[in-house]
A and B are shown apart, each in its own frame.
Chain A
Amino acid sequence: MEVPILKQGAVLIATFQAALSDADLNHLRMGLVQQVVKFRSRAVIVDVTAMDVMDSFASRTLREIAHMIRLRGAETVIVGIQPEVAFAMVQLGLTLEGVATALDLEEGLAYLNEKFKTTN
Chain B
Amino acid sequence: MSAGEIRVAINSDQDIVSARQKGRGMANELGFSSGDATLIATAISELARNIVSYARKGEITLKVVNGLNRQGIAVIASDDGPGIADIRQALRDGFSTSGSLGLGLPGVRRLMDEFDISSQPGRGTVVSVKKWRQ
> Interface residues, chain A, CB within 8 Å of chain B?
19-23, 52-57, 60, 82-85, 87-89, 91-94
Contacts and interface: CB of A to CB of B under 8 A. Distances in A.
A53 B45 contact: yes
Contact of A56 (B35, B49, B110): B49
A58 to B, nearest CB: 8
B interface: dominant SS? helix
| Residue picked from B24, B42, B106, most chain A C-beta under 10 Å | B42
A21 B20 CA distance: 11
B58 interface: no
Given A19-B21, A52-B20, A91-B42, 4 more contacts: A19-B17, A20-B17, A82-B38, A84-B39
B34 interface: yes
A22 B111 contact: no
| Residue picked from A54, A55, A85, A94, most chain B C-beta under 10 Å | A55
Contact of B39 (A19, A21, A91): A91
A13 B101 CA distance: 27
A20 B20 CA distance: 11
> Top 6 A-B pairs ranked by shortest CB distance?
A22-B13, A92-B107, A84-B38, A55-B45, A88-B42, A56-B101
Nearest to B50: A56
Contacts of A89: 42
